[in-house]
Structure formats: structure tokens, C-alpha cells
Amino acid sequence: MQRRLCALLLLASQCMGSAAGLFPFGEPDFSYKRSNCKPIPAPMLLCRGIEYQSMRLPNLLGHETVQEVLEQASTWIPLVQKQCHPDTRKFLCSLFAPVCIDDLDEIIQPCHSLCEEVKESCAPVMSAFGFPWPDMLDCSRFPKDNDLCIPLASSDHILPVTREAPKVCDACKNKNEDDNDIVENLCKNDFALKIKVKEIAYINGDTKITPETKSKTIYKLNGLTERDLRKIVLWLKGGLQCTCDEMNDINVPYLVMGQKQAGELVITSLKRWQKGQRAFKRFSRSIRKLQC
């Protein structure tokens, strides 16, 4: 898949032997080298708050170091934030940070039923981003339910969710804007572009968005040349700590506005472009008569 959101979920690093991304692909290495227990590191947001404190390495994805686990596990946080299934985090942590029991040498895998349930709920979410359910999560790899696999949570034992819902990124909040608001927003920002997304990555907690080079429409651009645009990159600051449901389909165009900060193009406003919608008709009219 050439137009993929990875580089996500992330990135600067290689993901599971192939590429890193919101929904990474690759064949897991189910090798059974001599394992050891490691404390689940505090920065591992994916598995923060699960019921156990120690994980087994190598894990079920072949990661042998804590640093490698940290880098790759963070690529899946956006899927958990989508809340497509209450056991998504449990399933993923059973792969990235399998529970480590001192008296048990065998690595404990997720049960087949846990995989199937999460897949049924979350595969459509992944599909919306252009990803099939990856081969490395083929549920046939995992054992039928038994006493030595991680089961699906019984609905009778699921505790009420008390954690706060993930906050919405400021740039992604819906705002009702009239013509004056649109012009004001255009004037206070350094750029306004209509783009399609080629790739999304998460680096140091920020979301990196790479647009398709041939699908851009430039409405406003300060401080960059046409040559710069060939490798343009946009940033949503703190994107790993907030959600942006406005941007949940890479097959549609988006209107992004923002400012140049420390040499980076930082997004302050992001909206899905809906052809024919009144707000975008007003935007087009405002562009033509823009006077800042």
C-alpha cells in the first residue's frame, strides 16, 4: 500500500521488520529465544494501566529490547484512541508486552476469540485508512481458548470506564465560522492548503503529515517557494496525545491552515473538504476577496 499513514503511527524507525505506521504491517517473528522479564516502562503509553507490571522479552512480535518495543508500540496508540473495541489495548499489549510470570517459561498468547472480536470491531476502522487487517495479526496464529491464553473480557466483569475521553486536538475542533471568521483565520495564518494525505507519522509525540504532491491547492503561502513545496511536511503538535476524528479517511481532501514556527509548518486548523458544502463555498469566495 503506497498511500499509507505510516512512516504513525509513525515514523523515524522501521516497524516490525518493514515499515512503521498507524497500522503497521509485517510478518511477526514468533521465535522462542530464551526470554527474560522486564518492567513495563512508564513511557509505554499503549500499555499504561494494564493489570501487570512485567513484560516478557523477546515479545510475540520479535522485539528484543525495551527501546524497540517503545518505538513500535506507540504506532498503535491511535487505534486504541478510536475505541473500536474495549479489549483493543489488552489484545495489543498481549503482543507487545506479554505478561511475564516467573514460574512459567512459556509465553502467553492472546486467545483466538480475543483476536477475532477485536478484529471484527477494529478492522473497519483500519479499512477506512486504506489498511486491511495485517497478516501479523492473523487470528489463526493464536490458540483456541484455554487456560494459557489471554481471553476476551467477559461482559460481566468489565469495569465501567472511568478514564477521561481523549481530548480533541485544538486544530480539529469543529467551529462554526462565518465569512468574517474565515477571512480572519486566513489572515492570521501563514498558509492555507487543500491537500490529500500521502502519509501520516508520529514523531516525538507530534503528528507529521505528508501531503500528496500533485493534489495540493495553494490558497495562501508565506515564506516558502514552489521548490520547497515539493517536499512539504505539515505538523500537528501533540498529535499523539489527542484525537482528530475530523481526519479519519486518507482518501478525501482536507483544508489545512497554520503558521510557520521554528522552520516547521504547524497546523492550527484542519477540516475535511466537502464539495458543495456551504462553508467551503464561503471559503472560496473569501479567498477571492481576501484583504488582510
Whether residue 81 is contained in a domain is answered as: yes
Say whether both 124 and 229 belong to one domain.
Answer: no
Kindly report the CATH number assigned to the domain that includes residue 242: 2.40.50.120
Q: Which of 27-36, 79-88, 115-124 has the lowest mean pLDDT?
A: 27-36
Instruction: Reply yes or no on whether the pLDDT at 24 is more than 50.
Output: no
Assess whether 178 and 146 both reside in one domain.
no
Higher pLDDT, 42 or 139: 139
| Burial grade of 236 (CB within 10 A; 0-12, 13-18, 19 or more) | buried
| Domain annotation covers residue 280 | yes
pTM over 0.85: no
Q: What is the pLDDT of residues 117-154, one digit of tens each?
A: 999 999 988 877 667 888 888 999 999 987 789 998 85
Report d(CA 213, CA 162) in Å as an integer: 43
What CATH number does the domain containing 115 carry?
1.10.2000.10
Count structural domains, the chain: 2
**Residue-level pLDDT at 151:** 92
**Residue 202 sits in the same domain as residue 115:** no
Q: Over pLDDT 90: what percentage of the chain?
A: 23
What pLDDT shows up at residue 98? 94
Question: Domain check: are 140 and 175 in the same one?
Answer: no
Q: Which of 121, 150, 179 is the last residue of a domain?
A: 150
| Contact by Cβ (8 Å): 207, 227 | no
Confidence tier at 281 by pLDDT (50, 70, 90): low
Residue 161 lies in a domain: no
Inside any domain, residue 7: no
Q: Of the given ranges (40-49, 57-66, 209-218), which has the lowest mean pLDDT? A: 209-218
Q: What percent of the chain has pLDDT over 70?
A: 73
pLDDT band at 179; cut points 50, 70, 90: low
Tell me, yes or no, whether 121 and 206 share the same domain: no
Range of the domain at 251: 170-288
Dist CA 76 CA 10 (whole Å)? 9
Could you tell me the end-to-end alpha-carbon distance of the chain, in angstroms, rounded to an integer? 42
Mean pLDDT of 57-69: 91
Are residues 59 and 139 both part of a single domain? yes
Residue 97 covered by a domain: yes
Position 231 confidence tier, pLDDT thresholds 50, 70, 90: confident
Q: Quick one: 176 and 281 in the same domain? A: yes
> Could you tell me if 275 and 181 lie in one domain?
yes
The H or E element containing residue 186 is: helix 179-188
Judged against a pLDDT cut of 60, whether residue 162 lies above it is answered with no
User: Which of 150, 185, 217 is a domain's end point?
Assistant: 150
192 shares its domain with 119: no
In this structure, the answer to whether residues 117 and 174 fall within a common structural domain is no
**Distances in Å between the alpha carbon of 266 and those of 115, 162, 182, 271?**
37, 33, 18, 15
Which pLDDT value is given to residue 32? 44
Residue 204 pLDDT = 76
Question: Looking at 85, 118, 150, which one is the last position of a domain?
Answer: 150
Coil, strand or helix at 248: coil
Choice between 97 and 3, residue whose per-residue pLDDT is larger = 97
pLDDT at 85: 92
Predicted confidence (pLDDT) at residue 52 exceeds the cutoff of 60: yes
Q: Which has the higher per-residue pLDDT, 96 or 272?
A: 96
Give the chain's radius of gyration (CA, Å). 21
> Based on the domain organization, do 174 and 146 belong to the same domain?
no
